[in-house]
Chain A
Amino acid sequence: MVENRPAATVLAHLTLALGVLIIGFPVYLTFIASTQTAEQIVQNVPMSLLPGSNIVESYKLALFGGQTAYGSNLPPAAPMLWVSLVSALVIAIGKIIISLLSAFAVVYFRFPGRNLVFWMIFVTLMLPVEVRILPTYKVVSDLGMLNTYAGLTVPLIASATATFLFRQFFLTVPDELVEAARIDGAGPMRFFKDVLVPLSSTSIAALFVIQFIYGWNQYLWPLLMTTSEDMYPVVMGIKRMISGGDAATEWNAVMATAMLAMIPPALVVILMQRWFVKGLVDSEK
């Protein structure tokens, strides 16, 4: 339905602009704060909304750490960004591989208890990390995986959502395609590799974006299972930079780190936007 009513157009644009403001203003504020010095932020009330001149120093301090203006020592954010990047990538890619394979098994193989297996996977949708965090912690700690990348990622890899999504997609692949591949002599794994995976490429891209952000934004789990500074992801690092009590907080460094932490997920979304939308919207077969 295409309508042409100016009032409605204006209203729609107003709503959108308001939405953009609500989302955009805090990001702007973060950026502005990161360009000022710690004193400026604290002394000017309210804070100036114009960029300051401290941008290089703030980001250098945030990235590489060092002595602050108040004399305390700030840990560098660069290694934390690396930890975040590695775990987000491992989680996203791991989730995609595991769920592709399990959906493949559930859809294309007839084995005893197939439905039971599927429903067991499905039920785990109700058990996110937060719910099973203590038993998971116990397992990870017993396996000696505290403070390791494996500990950071493995418990988060199994994904019912992705399995379910791929299952639904596989169910729409016509049976004749499977049969044509059988006549062509392609075994199950060959069919999986040559036909199913390429056909799922848009869903894979969409899932990668979602799961990368999910992995990047993990907070509670790393908070619990990392005790050594070199395994802190950046999201946790930001929290740790905000000192409570009497100690002064280097707000400019905090904000700079926050900006840095926003960049990779934003990049992933922007670069993969076309695929992402395609994967969610169309089902090209």
Chain B
Amino acid sequence: MGAISLRRVEKTYAPGSKAAVKVIHGVDAEISDGEFVVIVGPSGCGKSTLLRMVAGLEEITGGEIAIGGRVVNRLEPSERDIAMVFQNYALYPHMSVFDNMAYGLKIAKLPPEQIKARVDKAAKILELSALLDRKPRQLSGGQRQRVAMGRAIVRQPSVFLFDEPLSNLDAKLRAQTRLEIQKLHRELGITSLFVTHDQVEAMTLAQRMMVMNGGRMEQFGTPEEVYQRPQTTFVAGFIGSPPMNLLRGQADGQRFVVAGQTLALPQPAPRQGKLILGLRPEHAEWGADGADAWRLTVDVVETLGAERLVYCRLGETLFTVRIDGTLPAPQPGQQVPLGVRADRLHWFDAGSGQRLA
């Protein structure tokens, strides 16, 4: 019903003219019915544009988008069986909460009893029943956000589109709303596309996530896949906080040479020559001394309570290590040994940034 197919979807602004700018470079993805997919990426990566193309607010200049098996390239937003929640909510300021939620249904010429029933039901789910007569300006940010979701729910669409709906909320409310959205998705089971630049939101909400960069889809997979097997150096650096350490160097048997420093490897690199080696800050074994240990110089230590972030130097290269908060804090300038496990290492091609094996 609400499956979404993106087939070589492209977007070019001002096509045909000299000022033509291509912002989406052929995105291919199949999203199955009822799935919660998060599109994540840095600002300007084209994630909102892609969402707006699904919504019908941006023209599709290449490829095809199908919703529920029906190609929607030429359909108006209102004909695509979708509902959208905007970043700044876009509530009609002069209408009451009830009218805001009922407006789309009124235009669709539903009988008034049915409109009332639907709005009341949505208001109950979102705990808005007491606020139906208020105007948007009399509501708090979180309440406005819920009205915006209510407006989407009453349409009973087959796809929900969320355009960074949590970015205008404070941290506490954001965490709470995240849970609510998850609960809502479980209850309603409607296909959802959620755009965000926040990787915590992406990791917690997504059943599958689409990582985008520069108008291209870098990886599409479950949060575990994306975290454990990032397909490109971009994904490796974008997902995870602090980001994965990426060392550019020369592989030579069981050794890896980075800017003059030679590191021992637990097992040979998948290929000889120029490679990028990735290791997450939380996956380095702190204090595991041995013949193979890497030797780092501590630069700065940040204490976060549950954990400490140790910023080290490996020759000239920066290297971050995350250690348990209960371990004694190392002193700046101190030399520390670091153990490395073969299954924790990620290898990427130095030219393309693609994952090797």
A residues engaging B (CB < 8 A)?
174, 176-177, 179-186, 190, 194-195, 198-199, 201, 284-285
Other than A177-B92, A180-B91, A181-B103, give 9 A-B pairs with Cβ distance below 8 A.
A176-B87, A179-B55, A179-B57, A179-B84, A180-B84, A182-B57, A185-B78, A195-B92, A199-B93
B104 with A285: CB separation less than 8 A: no
Query: Which 10 A-B pairs give the minimum distances between C-beta atoms?
Result: A185-B78, A176-B90, A184-B104, A180-B90, A198-B94, A185-B107, A183-B77, A176-B86, A182-B77, A179-B57
Q: Which residues of B contact A194 (CB under 8 A)?
A: 92, 103
Categorize the interface residue count of chain B: 20 to 34
Cross-chain pairs A/B with CB under 8 angstroms, 26 sampled: A174-B88, A176-B86, A177-B90, A177-B92, A179-B55, A179-B84, A179-B86, A180-B86, A182-B56, A182-B76, A183-B78, A183-B83, A183-B84, A184-B78, A184-B103, A184-B104, A184-B107, A185-B78, A185-B104, A185-B107, A186-B78, A186-B107, A198-B94, A199-B94, A201-B94, A284-B137
Interface code B289-304, partner A: CB below 8 Å = 1, 0 otherwise?
0000000000000000
Q: Which residues of B contact A195 (CB under 8 A)?
A: 92, 94
CA distance A181 to B78 in the complex (A): 9
CA distance A180 to B55 in the complex (A): 11
A174 with B103: CB separation less than 8 A: no
The minimal Cβ–Cβ distance linking A184 to chain B, given in whole angstroms, is 4
Q: Which residues of A contact B55 (CB under 8 A)?
A: 179, 183
Q: Which residues of B contact A176 (CB under 8 A)?
A: 86-90
CA distance A216 to B76 in the complex (A): 47
The minimal Cβ–Cβ distance linking B52 to chain A, given in whole angstroms, is 8
CA distance A201 to B90 in the complex (A): 19
| Pick from A177, A181, A183: contact of B82, CB under 8 Å | A183
Q: Which residues of A contact B93 (CB under 8 A)?
A: 199, 284-285
B91 (CB) vs chain A CBs: closest residue: A180
A285 (CB) vs chain B CBs: closest residue: B93
CA distance A181 to B93 in the complex (A): 12
B148 (CB) vs chain A CBs: closest residue: A180
Q: Which residues of A contact B137 (CB under 8 A)?
A: 284
The minimal Cβ–Cβ distance linking A182 to chain B, given in whole angstroms, is 5
Q: Which residues of B from 74 to 127 have beta carbons under 8 Å from A?
A: 76-78, 82-84, 86-94, 103-104, 107-108
The minimal Cβ–Cβ distance linking B115 to chain A, given in whole angstroms, is 13
A201 (CB) vs chain B CBs: closest residue: B94
The minimal Cβ–Cβ distance linking B299 to chain A, given in whole angstroms, is 45
CA distance A113 to B104 in the complex (A): 33
Q: Which residues of A contact B91 (CB under 8 A)?
A: 180
The minimal Cβ–Cβ distance linking A203 to chain B, given in whole angstroms, is 13
Q: Which residues of A contact B103 (CB under 8 A)?
A: 181, 184, 186, 194
Q: Which residues of A contact B56 (CB under 8 A)?
A: 182-183
The minimal Cβ–Cβ distance linking A109 to chain B, given in whole angstroms, is 16
| Pick from A179, A185, A186: contact of B90, CB under 8 Å | A179
The minimal Cβ–Cβ distance linking A284 to chain B, given in whole angstroms, is 7
The minimal Cβ–Cβ distance linking A72 to chain B, given in whole angstroms, is 56
Q: Which residues of A contact B57 (CB under 8 A)?
A: 179, 182-183
B102 (CB) vs chain A CBs: closest residue: A184
Q: Which residues of B contact A285 (CB under 8 A)?
A: 93
Q: Which residues of A contact B76 (CB under 8 A)?
A: 182, 185
B86 (CB) vs chain A CBs: closest residue: A176
Q: Which residues of B from 156 to 207 have beta carbons under 8 Å from A?
A: none
CA distance A31 to B108 in the complex (A): 59
Q: Which residues of A contact B86 (CB under 8 A)?
A: 176, 179-180
CA distance A186 to B103 in the complex (A): 9
CA distance A177 to B55 in the complex (A): 14
The minimal Cβ–Cβ distance linking A282 to chain B, given in whole angstroms, is 12
CA distance A177 to B93 in the complex (A): 9
A200 (CB) vs chain B CBs: closest residue: B94
B83 (CB) vs chain A CBs: closest residue: A183
Q: Which residues of B contact A199 (CB under 8 A)?
A: 93-94
Q: Which residues of B from 212 to 266 have beta carbons under 8 Å from A?
A: none
B55 (CB) vs chain A CBs: closest residue: A183
CA distance A56 to B339 in the complex (A): 108
The minimal Cβ–Cβ distance linking A195 to chain B, given in whole angstroms, is 6
